[in-house]
Amino acid sequence: MFLLKLQDMGSLVELLQLGLIRSGFLSGEPDGIFGNKTEEAVINFQKAFRLTADGIAGPDTFNELKKYITGYFIKTISKGDTLWSVAAMAGISLNSLITANPDISPDNLTAGQKITVPYSFPLVPTDVSYSSLLTSLLIEGMTARFPFIKKTVIGKSVTGKELTVLTAGTGKKNIFINSGFHANEWLNIPVTLKFFEEYLTAAATDSRLCGYSASELYKNTTVHLMPLVNPDGTDIATRADTSGEYFDKAKRISATYPDVPFPEGWKANINGTDLNLQFPAGWEKAKAIKYAQGFTKPSPIEFVGFSPLSEPEAKAVYSYTLNNDFLIILAYHSQGSIIYWKYGNFLPPESERIGFILSERSGYPLELTPPDSSFAGYKDWFIQDFNRPGYTVETGIGKNPLPIDQFDKIYEENKPLLAAAIYEAMSL
């Protein structure tokens, strides 16, 4: 249940502040601290929406605030309304309104009819820490703004959270982009989601994206995006879940690894398994390497698990990949500002050529994976089993979790990389 109050901290407080800022009740930037200023904004918001003005953000407050996170609201048409007048009232383009309501006839609105109205601000926020709740709300908002995309739940996490893939396109050339394998690498979630939003906007308006015709990419490819592979771990790392049995479990696991800061250093899923060391591509070698490093049991980092694909999140990605004909995959991680492209002696056709294009577009060098991280990753398994181009893109510089102020630079580096990857998938 959503319940936040004075002195609470974490990514859910940032989500609350984001909604208050977007609705005009709070100024400044989200800081994740529920202080007096945030409490005052909550009270004013509650008064405006005729809620109990107690300064506690509970379910009723969240339900009213939710539309500012999902980025749209439902309007009931009144007599005399037109799509043009509704668009003008919302401060959005007519195209945005028509895109969100493809089955509505602009010349035949009827009183009582309900339509989806996007807000004028971009959907994906780039100044907050991410949680599974925020990600799910943005997915809802994405499917409302762009109803031509498809949402597929491909599995459940250890704690039962949905593992979701969004797909866009009508072509037979499939490309898979994922992020959020590692909990403390959550900054890549808005990178991939923001790109997806801009790609869909460009496709809907027949615009160009990084020099490519977005509508041509859309017609000839299908882009599969899984923005958050590891929802449970991410909620630990960003303090979205700081109570209950799962947080206590993670805290107990971390206590045996005091050199890893808790919770922000948490990388694994909630079982203490590194999801990117779970794939059947040299898993026994990865196990030997990590055991020699001391990771012989559940850990906040680097534990390979008790067997390949023992974790539901890894198994979901594995099964989804088997069931789709991906020509290229991109797995987003951090950090290093580098692209890893090989596994062992495998050299899939076109992989080096495409890798150099992605490198040129992003400015990230194309490199071999370090020996102690060369096995059992998703990219490794994809290359091994499909003999097709697969890339691990390591964004940013520094120590995970990367600071939010790196987002703009990371995004500007990766936007052209992602667009080029879709184009190259179209060309294969």
Give the DSSP H or E segment for 223: strand 221-226
Rounded alpha-carbon distances, angstroms, from residue 423 to 98, 162, 174, 187, 231: 27, 30, 11, 25, 30
Separation of alpha carbons 55 and 335, rounded Å: 39
E strand or H helix at 168: strand 162-168
39, 198, 394, 413: the catalytic one is: 394
- Token readout for 289 is 């390497």
Closest residue by Cα to residue 11 from 239, 191, 269: 239
Evaluate whether 49 touches 64 at the Cβ level (below 8 Å).
Answer: yes
Q: How many CB atoms lie within 10 A of CB 405?
A: 8
Q: What distance separates the 2 farthest-apart alpha carbons in the chain?
A: 73
The residue with tokens 């994906």 is: 124
CA nearest 146: which of 193, 178, 89? 193
424 in active site: no
**Active-site annotation, residues:** 394
